[in-house]
Structure 1
């Protein structure tokens, strides 16, 4: 009897891992129908791979909004962290696809001001990537524009354009920046902004 039980446990563990690995791959590729089938078959929406990446991290990083929505509806944790402390919101902020994943994660309870081990919030990441839709969604959700990472940088310090930098300036510095004549309104120029 004990031997049968051990076989069942071992077989169940391999099934769990197999479903989890397939779910990670389907989420990474944005295959919503496969994700749905795997979840219906018992795959854990919070399965962790090496580095503690979950299917939600993978889908968020690739901007697969439909998969993100499905995983959240099935109980995926919006605040799960990787080994480096990145949340799905950090991953969505990296994705250039759209702001939809960011909005979905925030709507599901993702914490806008969670810091990775680098001290960077999702707003730092979105600013560094120049992801305007993510920046807008995070600022609207109340993400701190004054937060500093481990190197002492605020999100506005990481912005790649003056337009984005102005969006991210803490309110106390915004008036001074609006008065600065050297900031052009186009987002492509390489000239340094004097509003820092």
Structure 2
């Protein structure tokens, strides 16, 4: 699917957000003989073990699946056998770190970083794991990535920063949406005035998309009342 250079990527998220990987909703290549997927809340340990058994001879697929599904022990076992698996990516260039980030699995994120994962790998759309964490308001993951040097002001191919994605207010939790914005806006190196390819700043997005625009007062220029 091709889009003009000036298309609004955030509007695309609103209309086609179901196509963006998000935890258990993302796609992965499995056996055609595999049984139908079950809801995440209905998954048992037996179900996870069966999945791992199906992928045991496909370590690259297995580590991607394990990162997305919070299978920390499986990831540690795979990396002990082959440390280079940490750099695996799928056809859209999502790495295990991306998958753990958009799923909100902070322990897996930390393990992958400790195992040698780059902190800012890019998907074909230019998304970093920090973009993924901020898109879904995973505060602990975003904090961990920033502590490991993630680029706070990284822009996607459409010019979106993590702040743009946090400002779009897409989380089902109002509290999480507030906290992710507070985290980003508290950073001294933040560049809130960066524009997306559609010409919007993150503040513009917040103004039209959600109830948290007032938080941007944290980074607005203050009027000095001190006599000159």
| TM-score, length basis structure 1 | 0.74
Q: Would you say the 8 A contact 1:156–1:166 is kept in 2?
A: no
Give the number of the structure with larger relative contact order, counting CA–CA contacts within 8 Å between residues 6 or more apart: 2
Per-residue deviation, residues 128-178 of structure 1 (Å, max 9, x unmatched): 13522222222223321111111111111212334x212125413x77xxx
Q: How does 1:51-130 map to 2 (within 5 A)?
A: 51-96=92-137, 98-129=138-169
Give the unaligned 5+ runs of structure 2.
1-56, 171-176, 224-228
Residue 26 of structure 1 is matched in structure 2 by: 66
For residues 115 and 216 of structure 2, what CA distance do their matches in structure 1 show?
34
How many angstroms does 1:32 deviate by? 1.1
Q: Would you say the 8 A contact 1:19–1:42 is kept in 2?
A: no
For residues 161 and 122 of structure 2, what CA distance do their matches in structure 1 show?
12
| TM-score, length basis structure 2 | 0.64
Q: Would you say the 8 A contact 1:148–1:154 is kept in 2?
A: yes
Q: Runs (4+) of structure 1 moved beyond 4 Å?
A: none
Give the unaligned 5+ runs of structure 1.
1-16, 176-196
For residues 169 and 76 of structure 2, what CA distance do their matches in structure 1 show?
31
Q: Secondary structure at the match of 2:92?
A: helix
How many angstroms does 1:55 deviate by? 0.2
Q: Would you say the 8 A contact 2:167–2:202 is kept in 1?
A: yes
Q: How many aligned positions are there?
A: 157
Per-residue deviation, residues 16-70 of structure 1 (Å, max 9, x unmatched): x922211000001111111111111215211111111100000001111111111
* Correspondence 1:171 to 2:214: no
How many angstroms does 1:89 deviate by? 0.3
Q: Secondary structure at the match of 1:133?
A: helix
The two structures, once aligned, show a CA RMSD in angstroms of 2.0
Residue 3 of structure 2 is matched in structure 1 by: none
